[in-house]
């Protein structure tokens, strides 16, 4: 069964008006988020902003941060730092996996070496 467009969280389906209504925020606030490069929605062929489900989640998060008193510049920095943390965590995970693989290979080599020492000499 083919997936529906709504299943793709990265598909830009929602207009400024729809997002504004969903989150009960002003359309001008959404435009300011774009101006301050906090959330950068894609544009339709006609130049209208189109938001993905993922971007709507970010807008909701940003709204909460702004409600707590953060400026849009500060919010953008928070989002940048959170992205950097995700990148570093992915790098850490990849390095841990590489180390585990290396350790497993070393253990196999060490076992093979021990097995060779223990095997009787041919006469």
One DSSP character per residue, 27-71 reads HHHHHHHHHTTSS--EE-TTS-EEE-HHHHHHHHHHHHHHHTT--
Q: Which domains does the chain have, with CATH numbers?
A: 5-118 (1.10.1660.10)
pLDDT tens digit sequence for 88-97: 999 999 999 9
* Residue 16 confidence (pLDDT): 95
pLDDT tens digit sequence for 37-76: 999 999 999 999 999 999 999 999 999 999 999 999 999 9
* Residue 33 confidence (pLDDT): 95
In sequence order, which residues have a C-beta less than 8 Å from that of residue 85 and are 6 or more positions away? none
Kindly report which listed range (8-17, 18-27, 97-106, 114-123) carries the lowest average pLDDT score: 114-123
């Amino acid at each position: 069964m083919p997936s529906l467009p709504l299943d793709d969280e990265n598909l830009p389906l929602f207009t400024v008006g729809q997002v504004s209504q969903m989150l009960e925020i002003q359309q001008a606030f959404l435009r300011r988020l774009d101006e301050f490069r906090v959330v950068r929605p894609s544009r339709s062929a006609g130049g209208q902003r189109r938001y993905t489900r993922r971007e709507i989640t970010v807008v909701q998060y940003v709204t909460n941060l702004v409600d707590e008193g953060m400026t849009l510049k500060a919010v953008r920095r928070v989002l940048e730092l959170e992205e950097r943390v995700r990148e570093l965590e992915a790098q850490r995970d990849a390095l841990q996996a590489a180390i585990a693989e290396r350790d497993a290979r070393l253990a196999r080599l060490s076992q093979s070496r021990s097995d060779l020492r223990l095997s009787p000499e041919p006469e």
